[in-house]
Amino acid sequence: MNQFLRSLTPTQQVAALFVIVFGLLTIVSVVTLLVGFRERRNAAHDEAWQRELQDFRKLLRTSWFMVAIFWIGWALGETVATLLFGLIAFLALREFITLSPTRRGDHRSLILAFFVVLPIQFILVGTARFDLFTVFIPVYVFIAIPVVSALANDPSQFLERNAKLQWGIMVCVYGMSHVPALLLLSFPGYEGKSAFLVFFLVFVVQTCMVVQHLIGRRFAYSAAEGRPPLQRWLAREPFAPNVSRSFNWASWGVGMAIASAVGALMSFITPFRFGQALAMALIACVAGSMGHLVMKALKRDRGIPNWGQKGGGVTGANGLLDRVDALCFAAPIFFHSVRWYFGV
């Protein structure tokens, strides 16, 4: 089996990966469909069960959607992939700006952010100008935005407004643009397989987030006595309850460990050796989960539990940022670590 996979060309290997993922999704979907027909005898249980199934279906739909996007991005080449990530960055920034109050004086800066900075950043990525694209936003844009704001002649809460906008650009545009940038890294002897690197990053970070989420859900903190030790150990008091009610170091550690292990096991699709893959996965997960925590603090400050909440969203936001924020933080760190360590 391994021999067979190694004998394939890189393109065939990536295609095989997609076949496997799509196959898994199909199986899970069919099973969910069949299970949905089942009726529980107890009406109360049935309702809870249906609700859980509903949640799961939503998750499944999201997964289908994301995998399909990745597949389209890969099949149509790097340019399309870059465009796709550009679109995601656009939607994420839209959500971010919607929920941070802006004033009329910010209008020009917003236009600059959406219609100038974002396209230029992704063009720079698409043309692989790495030295420029890593400094374009932190250097040039961070001067340009406050200048445009100052020209709008509105000094009230100047620093705050600008900080918000710059932060939004940093997370949504700068962070997200590092994901397609991975496609253009050229490792010696790894040509045509950069899609695996993106897959590695996304998969590892998502695993880490899902594990943490599941632990948080299963072992919600309560003061009740007499629970099994494992549960007591995992369901600690939240470490920063004002920011996140689910975050504690124990469950975080478990998430890190599992995700890094998964990353290490996936080392065969990356240019890394086993230990290197473990370290890279760990770096990405730490950055991603901490970034998620930071975004939670931002959300709390805005008084919302999710970027797309309020029962369907008074803003119409659909919570895209919730799904990609970990990636936005993990991608630049991962990218620069890889570049620095391997000198590519």
Helix (H, G, I), strand (E, B) or coil at 126: helix
- Which value, in Å, is the radius of gyration of the alpha carbons in the chain? 22
If one asks whether residue 309 binds another protein (CB under 8 A), the answer comes out as: no
User: CA nearest 181: which of 132, 246, 250?
Assistant: 132
Pick between residue 77 and residue 312 the one whose CB is nearest to another protein: 312
If one asks whether residue 95 binds another protein (CB under 8 A), the answer comes out as: yes
Pick between residue 152 and residue 258 the one whose CB is nearest to another protein: 152
**Choices 98-106, 175-183, 284-292, 331-339 (CB under 8 A): range interacting with another protein:** 98-106
Pick between residue 158 and residue 342 the one whose CB is nearest to another protein: 158
Tell me the one-letter amino acid at 84. L
If one asks whether residue 312 binds another protein (CB under 8 A), the answer comes out as: yes
Site string for another protein, 263-302 (x = CB under 8 A): ----------------------------------------
**Cα distance between residue 194 and residue 210, in whole Å:** 24
Q: Are 166 and 174 in contact (CB under 8 A)?
A: no
User: Binder to another protein among 54, 135, 316, 344 (CB under 8 A)?
Assistant: 316
Q: Are 260 and 278 in contact (CB under 8 A)?
A: yes
Residues 106-120 as b/e (b if ≥16 CB within 10 A, e otherwise) read beebbebbbeebbeb
User: Binder to another protein among 107, 129, 218, 227 (CB under 8 A)?
Assistant: 107
Token code pair at residue 276: 């290197």
**Cα distance between residue 80 and residue 72, in whole Å:** 8
Which residues have CB under 8 Å from 177's CB, separation 6+? 85, 86, 89, 121, 122, 124, 125, 133
**Cα distance between residue 272 and residue 278, in whole Å:** 9
Tell me the one-letter amino acid at 214. L
Pick between residue 94 and residue 292 the one whose CB is nearest to another protein: 94
**Choices 158-166, 233-241, 292-300, 307-315 (CB under 8 A): range interacting with another protein:** 307-315
Pick between residue 262 and residue 298 the one whose CB is nearest to another protein: 298
**Choices 138-146, 232-240, 313-321, 334-342 (CB under 8 A): range interacting with another protein:** 313-321
In the complex, the smallest distance separating the C-beta of residue 111 from another protein, rounded to whole angstroms, is 5
Site string for another protein, 194-233 (x = CB under 8 A): ----------------------------------------
Contacts with another protein by CB under 8 A lie at 90, 93-95, 97-98, 102, 104, 107, 110-111, 114-115, 312-318
